[in-house]
Amino acid sequence: MTDPTVAPVLLIALPIVAAAVVLLAGLRWPRSGWPISLVALVLEGGLAAWLASAVFGDSGRLVHELGAYGRPGENEFAVGIELVADALSATMVGLIALIALSVLAVTRRAGPRGVPFYAAYLMLIGGLMGVSLTGDVFNLFVFLEITGIATYTLVASNRSAPAAVAALKYLIVGTTGASLYLLGVGYLLMATGTLNMADLAATLAGEPSFVDGPMYTDPLVLASFAFIATGLFVKAAIFPLHTWQPGAYDEAPDGVTVAISALVSTIGAYAFLRISLSVFTPAFFEATPIVATVIVTVASVSVVAGSALAVMQSRIKRTFAYSSVSQFGLVVLATGIALHPDAGASAAEAALIGAVIHLVGHAVVKGGLFTAAMGLALDSDARTIDDLAGLGRQSPVLSAAMALLGLTLVGVPPAVGFLGKWYIVIGAMNADLWPVAVVILLSTVLTLAYVARLFEQLYFTPAPSGDEAGAEAPADTSDDHAMAADGGNSADDGTEEHLSDPTPGAPFGVVAVAVGAAILAILLGFAGAEFADALEPFVTEVLGQ
Amino acid sequence: MSTVESLRPLLAVAISTVAIPLIVASYRRPNVRDSISVLTALGKFAIVASMLPAVLNGDEFRWSLGTYAPGVEFALRADPLGMLFALLSSLLWVFTAFYAIGYMRGLDEHSQTRFFAAFAGSLAAAVGIAFAENLLTIFVFYELLSVATYPLVAHDETDEARAAGRKYLLYTFFGGGVLVLGGTALVYVLAGTTTFGATAQGLSTADPTLAKAAFAMLAAGFGIKAGLMPAHSWLPDAMVAPTPVSGLLHAVAVVKAGAFGVARVILDVYGPDVVSDLGVGLPLAAVAAFTLLAASVIALRQDHLKRRLAYSTISQLSYIVLGLSLLGPTAITGGLLHIPAHAFMKLTLFFCAGIIHVETHTDYIPEMDGIGKRMPLTMTAFAIAAAGMAGIPLVAGFVSKWFLLVGAVQVNEAIFAVALLVSGVLNIAYFWPIVYGAFFESPDGADEKPLISGPLGGREGPRNIQLLKPAGSHGSHGESSGMGGALAGSSDGRDDPAPLEDGEYAVDRHPSDHAGDSATENDPAVAAESDDSVDVGDDSAGHDEETIADDHDDHADHAHHGGPGPDGWERRRWTGEESTWLLLGPILAVATGALVLGIVPYEAQFLELVEVIVEGVSA
């Protein structure tokens, strides 16, 4: 087991096997889901760390050929499926492993629980790992579908009618997206005769002897990219293909929202990044300049429209959901800049690093925000932004976490949200894409527009009812006095409980994850430079082709 | 000239950051909490001051966290320009810390813990801005400053306060997160670095259009915080904050962070030579000159004392920007010296406004006629500082203005000298009526003040129409119709709850932070009693209830708010019985500072520091 090339296989197989074990064991011991999942995901974390240390350490790019079919000849296509771990996939694997464990902590007490949840959840993790690690475009589709089906199940696990509708909508739209992707893959197969990413890249570049020159301008290839990009934009919820996403986020059980907001759209954006970089490669975008322009335009619209829609929402989870539309727009925008034919080497490099940092940073921040929202909902049943009024005093820890994460989202330095934006804007400016730079800079103010509403409600709006207003003005010495009096009053109407306890409703796991996400977001801001250094070889390699 | 690796710049920033959790943790013990606040202020000043002698000798202290983004370190460096701002902020924080305790306890304010914690955070960010070694680091602290001051602006938790907070966030984030960040990124793209002093070379050879664009973004981004017109309107609105905030942050730390940012951009990012080559100094000077005149004119028409001071701040900050953008060494000296000079004077004025509010709940200037009897020491300090604002010798404002005037003539831009002189006259026009009214008038016998309350451009029709109006205790609110109404932004109508008039701000009607108990408002005897209980903050819980009720009903009882009692102002002696020493002490100390700076500017260190900076720039 000393050869790290086995890690990718284990990373994918372990959660899927564990999902089956959970199901079977659940027949006999219905409460065994949590311990089994915990063990599986802790092991998964260890594997992820092993893989990351190998990839970022000395090994660099790891390739594992499933079934060891190999290649018939020196320059022939691979026969079997390859799993590939490079810096980008290792980053994703680490992120997924970390968030998977966090979600387990979040749902421990607050739910959802039970055998079906843990089984579907482990399937989801397996699918996500598969998408991150596969080196085969068809295999990617399979894992996308595993991810998708697991997510539909989880969204619907709320057992409410709106959740069922949301899940159905997600099922239809998501499957359409996956089908579009599959169509694109079919076209690629027709054009080249292979599904292996590395072989595809080489064939499209015209390297094999049986093709006459680069195929980038082949209508088949162009159509294929259009299908694939559209399909993945659906998965990443890019405006105007985002329609499944707010409903799914809002109606899913809170714990599930944390997982899908942090991971599922993220994996869609990752898949887009991966296909663009490793299959079509920058040379494709150079040969067809219009493609990058279209991507940048669509993404810019998504950035602006997502924020505008977020401002218009009254429900907390919907606000954050639309915020994701905007933030993934930013990631795709960065990808577009990195691949833009006008971008020089340094611009492309900065933009690509920015895309990866923002992808990771957003996952942490959005997961944390949904966790904090979940905690506040458990504490005070706060579902709309107006419900947040005065919670800064009732749930100080969760409110502080939400405020910090909100600031990170806005891009207040030194947290990670700013760092990603800095790289992306440097890339845009270096590439002379001035309107794009303006959109990125303005996105700060757009994000602020909905985040500021949260602050205002949390800290500067008195709680609605009369007795809670008493807690709003406790002056120095009477702080504890007011608290006590308030607690007494609330006991009467029976809706609020023991206010002297800062977070009575939210279990420790929820609070800890929200706070941990806030701290991690700030630490990542400072670790950005090292991370960029670690990504450097990967970036130069994918961009240098 | 050497650079010393030292932790001291970091400590200067960190000490008040560390204080935040301590302040929050001690929220149940107000005395402990407030002591922490004061000790932190003293410690911060001590750390900053300990670096002063070496910096004056040409040494610099530097601390670096390491690379933050490629080619950019997260680093702090105590250089002379940074020292100027850090020394000023930390010194004045010491006085404000005492004053804020007196103020918050005197008014029995809510959420004092949050207030003091945010205050400490703001100061940490301000010193971070002072010591930042490059544009990216300054941007980090600049944004943190916006975040840390937001809770102070929205402190009241009323609709006006929230609206002011929203506006504040919008303006400062547009200035910081969009313009400064954009300018910083552009400078990085053009020059390959953002370290102060290292960018001028790259910028001078870069595409001039882009270099100009970057300058415009940086100047506008920092200018928004410095209240440059037309992006100034957040500042008068932010006056809903408690007065110590208006004083230290919105006259010293925050707005000066903007002015300081402009100084960094002109002196260290571009350097006067490149600014001159690009030809961007003159437009900035023109904006500053316009601002300083227009703001002075608007200040004339403000009835609310804090709003008048706010417009005065906008005007005076433009002196600084004007001096810097004229680019001559003497003008730069004047501009930089005006940073501390204005700080001392304006802090005095705000402290006076605050103490008047605490003691008498008076916020409107027409109600202050004869208040010199009630608050003799306060109004004396006010008179001194106001004289300084107008540039009368022996007060700090004169010295800096002198340099500015000479500097403007030196660079052959005498027109700006004229603007400065006109502004000086306007300063007298809007401050003198306050001083005159306080000492030489009484509530019953106030003269008309045609320049301030009459319609602009003189009156139409027979004069005696105005005189028919009874000269009541609320003074003469002029018929500021038409242009007056639009410009002044405040006038009559305070007593009636009708919808807001065009140009009137809600804050005029519901002045900032009054949370006074209605019992003390009209009855001087009760007011006197409350004086005694103010200084220790041993307020009863019952008191609180009243505060809350008052907070929510201030629409109803506003008409009875403030002003002299039915028998006019009570006379208090000059021995400090007008208020508590927790409030009076800082006022007198800061006013003395303004005098010291005006009489012996070199001994006060600030002028010496400014000369070191200017030498360094022109070398």
Q: Judge: B189–A459 Cβ closer than 8 Å, yes or no.
A: no
Enter the tokens of residue B364.
């409107």
Chain A nearest C-alpha distance from B156 (Å):
8
pLDDT more than 70, % of chain B: 80
The alpha helices in B279-362, defined as continuous H runs, are 281-300, 305-326, 329-360
Residue A230 has pLDDT above 70, yes or no: yes
- Other C-beta atoms lying within 10 Å of the C-beta of residue B5: 8
For B180, the closest chain A residue by CA position comes to: A441
pLDDT of B65 > 70? The answer is yes
Q: How far is CA B394 from CA B435, B587, B599, in A?
A: 18, 18, 5
A121 within 8 A of A263, measured Cβ to Cβ: no
Residues of chain B contacting residue A455, judged by C-beta atoms under 8 Å apart: 150
Distance from CA of B165 to the nearest CA of A (A): 9
Tokens of B41: 């202020």
**Coil, helix or strand for B454?**
coil
Asked if the model's pLDDT at residue B556 lies above 60, the reply is: no
| Chain A neighbors of B102, CB-CB under 8 A | none
Yes or no, beta carbons of B177 and A445 under 8 Å apart = yes
ipTM over 0.90: no
Report the pLDDT value the prediction gives residue A363, as an integer from 0 to 100: 93
Q: Looking at the complex, does the CB of residue A345 fall below 8 Å from at least one CB of chain B?
A: no
pLDDT, average across residues A380-404: 84
Q: Nearest CA of chain B to the CA of A104: how many Å? A: 30
CB contact under 8 A, B157 and A476: no
- Between CA B97 and CA B107 the distance in angstroms is 16
Verify whether the Cβ–Cβ distance A477 to B539 is below 8 Å: yes
pLDDT in tens, A64-117: 888 777 777 767 787 788 888 888 999 999 999 999 999 988 888 877 888 888
Q: Which amino acid is at A272?
A: F
For CA atoms B70, B76, B77, B83, give the dihedral sign.
Answer: positive
- Quick check: helix, strand or coil at residue B579? coil
Residue A222: pLDDT above 50?
yes
Highest mean pLDDT among A297-301, B3-7, B580-584: A297-301
Q: pLDDT band at residue B301, thresholds of 50, 70 and 90?
A: confident
Report how far Cα B458 is from the mean position of its chain's Cα atoms. 32
What's residue B227's pLDDT? 87
Q: What string of DSSP letters covers A179-214?
A: HHHHHHHHHHHHHHS--BHHHHHHHHTT-STTS-S-
- Each residue of B312-342: pLDDT tens digit? 999 989 999 999 988 888 888 889 989 988 9
User: SS3 for B198-230, per residue?
Assistant: CCHHHHHHCCHHHHHHHHHHHHHHHHHHCCCCC
pLDDT for residue A297: 92
- Evaluate whether A152 touches A171 at the Cβ level (below 8 Å): yes
Please give the DSSP secondary-structure letter assigned to residue A78.
P
Q: What is the mean pLDDT of residues B212-227?
A: 90
The region of weakest confidence among A75-89, B124-138, B174-188 is A75-89
Q: Is A456 on the interface with B (CB under 8 A)?
A: yes
Are the beta carbons of A477 and B185 separated by less than 8 Å? no
Instruction: For residue A224, name the pLDDT band (cuts at 50, 70, 90).
Output: very high
**Which secondary-structure segment (H or E) carries B191?**
helix B181-191
Chain-chain contact of B110 with A461 (C-beta, under 8 angstroms): no
Q: Picking from B171-180, B274-283, B444-453, which range would have the lowest pLDDT averaged per residue?
A: B444-453
Written as one string, the DSSP assignment of B491-515 is -S-SSS-PPPPTT--HHHHS-TT--
**Residue numbers of A between 347 and 376 with CB closer than 8 Å to B:** 350
- CB atoms A480 and B28 under 8 Å: yes
For residue B147, list chain A residues with Cβ-Cβ distance below 8 A.
407, 412
The rounded distance, in Å, linking the Cα atoms of B124 and B455 is: 45
Q: Which residue of A has its CA nearest to B177?
A: A444
pLDDT at residue B560 is higher than 60 = no
| Interface mutation target, options B173, B190, B193, B536, chain A, most CBs of A under 10 Å | B173
Position A501 confidence tier, pLDDT thresholds 50, 70, 90: very low
Preceding omega of B230 cis (within 30 degrees of 0): yes
Q: What is the DSSP letter of A4?
A: G
A414 contacts B68? CB cut-off 8 A: yes
Q: What is the pLDDT of residue A301?
A: 93
Q: Is A410 on the interface with B (CB under 8 A)?
A: yes
Q: Are A14 and A36 a contacting pair, CB within 8 Å?
A: no
With CA atoms as reference, the chain A residue closest to B153 would be A460
Residue type, A516: G
Inter-chain CB proximity A455 and B105 less than 8 Å: no
The whole-number pLDDT of residue A65 equals 82
Sole residue written with tokens 């809600």:
B506
Q: How many whole angstroms separate alpha carbon B359 and alpha carbon B356?
A: 5
CA distance B157 to B149: 14
pLDDT value of residue B435: 86
- CA distance to partner chain A, nearest, from residue B291 (Å): 26
Average pLDDT over residues B84-108: 87
Whether B177 and A426 lie within 8 Å, measured CB to CB: no
List the single range of A69-83, A528-542, B342-356 with lowest mean pLDDT.
Answer: A69-83
Q: How many CB pairs under 8 A join A and B?
A: 133
Q: Do A419 and B105 touch (CB under 8 A)?
A: no
CA B253 to chain centre: 7
- Average pLDDT of chain A, as a whole number: 84
Inter-chain touch B537–A477, beta carbons under 8 Å: yes
Give the whole-number percent of chain B exceeding pLDDT 90: 7
CB B257 within 8 A of CB B225: yes
B136 to chain A, minimum CA–CA distance in Å?
Answer: 9
B148-160 pLDDT, tens digit per residue, is: 888 888 888 888 8
Contacts of A54-63 with CB under 8 Å at 24 or more apart are A54/A4, A54/A7, A54/A85, A55/A4, A55/A85, A55/A86, A55/A87, A55/A89, A55/A90, A56/A87, A56/A90, A56/A534, A59/A4, A60/A86, A60/A537, A61/A85, A61/A86, A62/A4, A62/A5, A62/A7, A62/A8, A62/A86, A63/A5, A63/A135
Nearest CA distance, A17 vs chain B (angstrom): 42
User: Does A414 sit within 8 Å of B74, measured CB to CB?
Assistant: yes
Name chain A contacts of B136, Cβ cutoff 8 Å.
422
* Contact present, B293 and B419 (Cβ < 8 Å): yes
State the pLDDT at residue B490: 41
More confident residue, B490 or A146: A146
Residues 478-517 of A with CB under 8 A from B: 478-482
Q: What mean pLDDT do residues B185-202 have?
A: 86
Give the nearest chain B residue to A350 (CA atoms). B70
**In 10 A of CB A481, how many CB atoms?**
14
Angstrom distance (rounded) from CA A319 to CA A454: 10
Q: Under DSSP, is residue B359 helix (H, G, I), strand (E, B) or coil?
A: helix
Q: What is the pLDDT of residue A545?
A: 45
Q: For B328-476, where are the alpha helices, taking DSSP H only?
A: 329-360, 371-374, 376-390, 396-410, 414-440, 450-453, 464-467
- Comparing A265-274, B259-268, B413-422, the range with the smallest average pLDDT is B413-422
Question: Is A420's Cβ below 8 Å from some Cβ in B?
Answer: no
Residues within 8 A of B (CB atoms), A 436-455 only = 437-438, 441-442, 444-445, 448, 452, 455
Q: Which pLDDT band, with edges at 50, 70 and 90, does B516 fall under?
A: very low
- For residue B41, give the nearest of B106, B124, B107 by alpha carbon: B124
Label residue B590 by pLDDT band (50, 70, 90): confident
User: Mean pLDDT across chain B, nearest whole number?
Assistant: 78
CA–CA gap between residue B69 and residue A526 (Å, rounded): 9
**Lowest-pLDDT choice from A86-100, A312-326, B198-212:** B198-212
How sure is the predictor about A266, in pLDDT bands with cuts at 50, 70 and 90? Answer: very high
Give the best-scoring range by mean pLDDT among A364-373, B362-371, B560-569: A364-373
Task: Encode burial over B125-156: b for 16+ CB neighbours within 10 A, e otherwise.
Answer: bbbbbbbbbbbbbbbbbbbbbbbbbbbbbbbb
* Tokens of residue B482, six digits: 């038409």
pLDDT confidence tier of residue B446, bands split at 50, 70 and 90: low
The whole-model pTM stands at 0.82
Mean pLDDT of B593-606: 82
Q: How far is CA B427 from CA A92, B390, B415, B588, in A?
A: 62, 5, 18, 22
Taking a C-beta distance cutoff of 8 angstroms, is the pair B215, B141 a contact? no
